[in-house]
């Protein structure tokens, strides 16, 4: 949905938050209310036998969920368990669109309808290639192309 330069800038901000921020270890279902924290919602791959949600991270700033990075299978459930709300999230970042990094994106986006989200959610990710869609194409296919109101 945004240019390659904007996507690179968003990923750079994410990297800076992790590198420069004082991320603290967090429990699986809650994050502190002070400072910056990175919560691992999922660290598994596409296989189900490892009994983990697929790749997804949530960045908290002073008790508010601000940045979502990837949304692999199972991450929507973990997001709900974390106490976060999609109406709080400021930006959504994708590293790439393999299913174990993007499968729960539609569920998370549609959940914001039940929270009365009143502002746009910027989505940044890769530009696409001959094998994978661009971020704009991916969002359109997930949220517009497969659903008609």
Mean pLDDT, range 54-81, rounded to an integer: 95
Confidence (pTM):
0.75
pLDDT tens figures, 88-132:
999 999 999 999 999 999 999 999 888 888 899 999 999 999 999
Q: What is the CA radius of gyration of the chain?
A: 15
Residue 75 — φ and ψ, nearest 5°?
-70, -30
Identify the architecture of domain 4-145 in CATH: 4-Layer Sandwich (3.60)
> pLDDT (tens digit, 9 = 90+) per residue, 13-64?
555 444 444 444 444 455 667 789 999 999 998 887 888 999 999 999 999 9
Give the separation between CA 77 and CA 69, rounded to whole angstroms.
15
pLDDT band at 141 (very low <50, low <70, confident <90, very high): confident
pLDDT at residue 7, as a whole number? 53
For residues 58 and 140, give the distance between their C-alpha atoms in angstroms, rounded to a whole number: 23
DSSP code string of 5-24 = HHHHHHHHHHHHHHHHS---
Half-sphere exposure at residue 126, Cβ-oriented, CA atoms within 13 angstroms: 13
Q: What is the pLDDT of residue 37?
A: 94
Domain boundaries, the chain: 4-145
- pLDDT (0 to 100) of residue 51: 86
Q: 105: helix, coil or strand?
A: helix
DSSP for 26-71, please give it.
Answer: -BTTB--SSSEEEEEEE-B-S-STT-SPBSEEEEEETTEEEEEE--
Helix (H, G, I), strand (E, B) or coil at 119: coil
* Across 56-85, average pLDDT: 95
Q: How far apart are CA 109 and CA 143, in angstroms?
A: 8
Which residues sit opposite 42 in a β-bridge?
56
């Amino acid at each position: 949905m945004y240019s390659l330069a904007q996507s690179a800038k968003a990923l750079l901000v994410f990297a800076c938050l992790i590198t420069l921020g004082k991320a603290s270890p967090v429990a699986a279902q809650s994050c502190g209310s002070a400072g910056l924290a990175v919560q691992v919602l999922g660290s598994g791959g596409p296989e189900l036998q490892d009994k983990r949600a697929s790749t997804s991270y949530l960045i908290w700033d002073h008790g508010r969920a601000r940045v979502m990075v990837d949304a692999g299978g199972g991450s929507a459930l973990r997001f709900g368990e974390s106490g976060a709300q999609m109406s709080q999230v400021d930006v959504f970042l994708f590293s790439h669109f393999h299913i174990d990094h993007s499968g729960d994106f539609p569920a998370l986006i549609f959940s914001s309808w039940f929270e009365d989200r009143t502002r746009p959610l910027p989505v940044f990710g890769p530009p696409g290639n001959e094998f994978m869609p661009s971020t704009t194409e991916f969002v359109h296919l997930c949220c517009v192309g497969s659903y008609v109101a």
